[in-house]
Structures are given as structure tokens and as C-alpha cells.
Amino acid sequence: MMFYTFLLLLLLHLGFCRAQHATYIVHMEKDQMPSNFEQHSLWYESSLRTVRESAEVLYTYSNAIHGFACRLTPEEVESLLSQHGVISILPEREYRLHTTRTPLFLCLEPLEVQNTALFPGESDIVIGVLDTGVWPESKSYSDDGYGPIPSTWKGTCEAGTNYPSTLCNRKLVGARFFDRGYEEKYGPIDESKESKSPRDNYGHGTHTSSTAA
């Protein structure tokens, strides 16, 4: 009886600890990296370890912003904010899906769409969308008539469950999935319900990305 009681208390304690942590995006001042670090990622890890030795960097960012994602408590956020080079720390936001049918959602009547060029003379525009993924077999991603992938494209087609990298083409030039923040908060992804890959199991990402393109 004492063993079961101890086990229950242990599980409750673990659940409480997980509930106290949340995912945050830490925005760093790139040019403020101390000279004793060879890479920004090493600087990020060192800064994070000052607030908790066991803390781990989930993702690093080096394009739109410079920084990293991690799991922190509110107290650790305050401590990290005082570290050298930290610009801001923002909590991860969880978004809910609204629709996969934009005209109906916006109360629009069906319109005959004219075949006009929105970007005349442009053929190397790459659109990036953060959403539920893509269903690459959709005809919306057919690359018939497309030229080569722009040489400026530096991304990748990341393979995963039910998603080999060969599914990308000259229109769907790349796809990635980011699951570390989700699994840190909710536990392992249930792969019987959704793919651990860029594949879209809900339809929303396929809708928005193909509409934009």
C-alpha cells in the first residue's frame, strides 16, 4: 500500500513540474555574442544553463530572428532576461484552426477568377507557410509546366512518417516539421492519429499554402 502511495505522489510531482514549464522563444542580439564562443548555438546553450543546468535548447533560429526555443518556468524567464544579449522572451502561442474553406468562411459568393498575372515577370518567388503541413499528392502541388527550383532556395524537404523527401517537387520545393515543443508539453505524438512528418492530417495547411501559391 505504501508503494502505491509513493508511486502516486511521484506521478503527481512529475505532472506538477511539467505543468510549471512552458515553451518560450528567446530573442538574442546576434552581435553581442562574447568572443570566447565560436558559434552562436554554444552561446545560447551557455546562457540557458545559467538558469537551469538541465535545460535544453529545442530549436535555434538564425534567419528572421536570432535566438532559440526552450522550456522554462516563469522564474527562469525572469532570470534569463537579465543575461547578456537577451532582447526578449516570448511565450509560445497555440493557435486553433478555423476553416479549410476560405470563401465560405469569409461569406463570399463564388466568383469567376480571371487568369491574370499578379507578379508579371517573376518566377522565383518562394512562399513560406507555418501551418498543419501539406498533402503533397494534392493536384494543387502539381509542378507541371514549372521550371527549375530557384537557385536562391536554401531549404530542405524533410522526411518523416509517410513522407519521403521525394514527395517535394519543383512547386512544393520544401517541407519541414517541428515537434519538439509539442512533445515537451504534451508527450510523444500519437502516430496512429497523425504523422510525425510534414504531412497534413487536418487539411488546413494544404488549403492555406496552395491558396497562397
Give the count of domains, the chain.
2
**DSSP for residue 139:** G
Domain that holds residue 50: 17-91
Same-domain check for residues 107 and 191: yes
Is residue 200 assigned to a domain?
A: yes
Is residue 6 assigned to a domain?
A: no
Confidence at residue 165, expressed as pLDDT on a 0 to 100 scale: 94
Q: Residue 26: give its domain's CATH number.
A: 3.30.70.80
In this structure, the number of other CB atoms found within 10 A of the CB of residue 91 comes to 12
Cell of 163: 513522407
Task: Decide which of 91, 117, 146 is a domain's last residue.
Answer: 91
Confidence at residue 80, expressed as pLDDT on a 0 to 100 scale: 96
Is residue 170 assigned to a domain?
A: yes
Confidence at residue 112, expressed as pLDDT on a 0 to 100 scale: 54
Confidence at residue 100, expressed as pLDDT on a 0 to 100 scale: 63
Confidence at residue 46, expressed as pLDDT on a 0 to 100 scale: 96
Report which residue type is found at 33. Answer: M
CA-CA distance, 133 to 207, in Å (whole number)? 10
Same-domain check for residues 109 and 86: no
Same-domain check for residues 85 and 168: no
Is residue 210 assigned to a domain?
A: yes
Same-domain check for residues 87 and 113: no
Task: Decide which of 64, 91, 118 is a domain's last residue.
Answer: 91
Confidence at residue 1, expressed as pLDDT on a 0 to 100 scale: 47
Q: Are 200 and 164 spatial neighbours (Cβ–Cβ below 8 Å)?
A: no
Confidence at residue 125, expressed as pLDDT on a 0 to 100 scale: 83
Confidence at residue 103, expressed as pLDDT on a 0 to 100 scale: 66
pLDDT tens for the 213 residues of the chain, in order: 444 444 444 444 444 445 589 999 999 999 999 999 999 999 999 999 999 999 999 999 998 899 999 999 999 999 999 999 999 999 998 877 776 666 676 676 655 555 555 555 556 788 899 999 999 999 999 999 888 998 889 899 999 999 999 999 999 999 999 999 989 888 999 998 888 999 999 889 998 898 888
Task: Decide which of 66, 91, 116 is a domain's last residue.
Answer: 91
